[in-house]
Amino acid sequence: MIQMINEEILGHIQTVQKTLDELQSYIYTACIISTECLKNGGKILLFGNGGSAADAQHIAAELTGRYKTERKGLPAIALTTDTSALTAIGNDFGYDKIFERQVGALANKGDVLIGISTSGNSVNVIKALSLGKELGCKTIGLSGRGGGEMNKVCNLNIIVPSDNTPRIQEMHIMIGHIICQAIDNTFLS
């Protein structure tokens, strides 16, 4: 058991180091895109499936509530939380449209869409990012495994250098927290 615990922690540390080495400039760019959007009166829409849905909700809550410092609440919406919309859209149009329909209804030019998918190939995430790009939104991906199809539809796809889903998810929430800190620094009360 101790060996397994050590292997998990060491795997996390190695992925953090690779992320720092390879992705620092991409994370910086995501911070700039996100803070500029909010400074200009836009909003951030986040979405993903499973654990990525939980990450979308987590990050949105950090922005509408607070991350670390007292500041005004900021406009961020996780498109994963409205069960009536998700089930109606899924039933009427198909599961692959659950985020795309919401982006069509809620997104405005200049907003930021953050799509989260460990594989980079979640069809419903890709469709929403693609529509967002057409609408004039900035599209940021949080992915892994080489980035998948999200490479084609994101203005910026932050590809965690791993094929291990738990390690990718750990880096996604860390990257989300870094973006939240950049936003906090910009909007201190």
What predicted TM-score, i.e. pTM, was given to this entire model? Answer: 0.96
| Cβ proximity of 25 and 49 under 8 Å | no
Task: Please spell the DSSP secondary structure of 54-77, one letter per residue.
Answer: HHHHHHHHHHHS-SSS------EE
The pLDDT of residue 188 is: 83
> Domain span at residue 13?
2-186
- Give the whole-angstrom CA distance, residue 6 versus residue 66: 33
| The predicted structure's pLDDT at residue 97 | 98
- Cβ contacts of residue 148 below 8 Å, gap of 6+? 117, 119, 120, 121
Cβ neighbour number for residue 83 with a 10 Å cutoff = 8
CATH number at residue 175: 3.40.50.10490
Quick: pLDDT tens for 4-41.
999 999 999 999 999 889 999 999 999 999 999 999 99
Contacts of residue 158, defined as CB under 8 A and 6 or more positions apart, other chains included, come to 23, 26, 27, 30, 140, 141, 142, 143, 175
117's tokens: 């998918």
CA–CA separation, 3 vs 169, rounded Å?
A: 22
Q: Residue ranges of the chain with pLDDT lower than 70?
A: 189
Q: In the chain, how many domains are there? A: 1
CB of 119 closer than 8 Å to CB of 127: no
Report d(CA 55, CA 131) in Å as an integer. Answer: 21
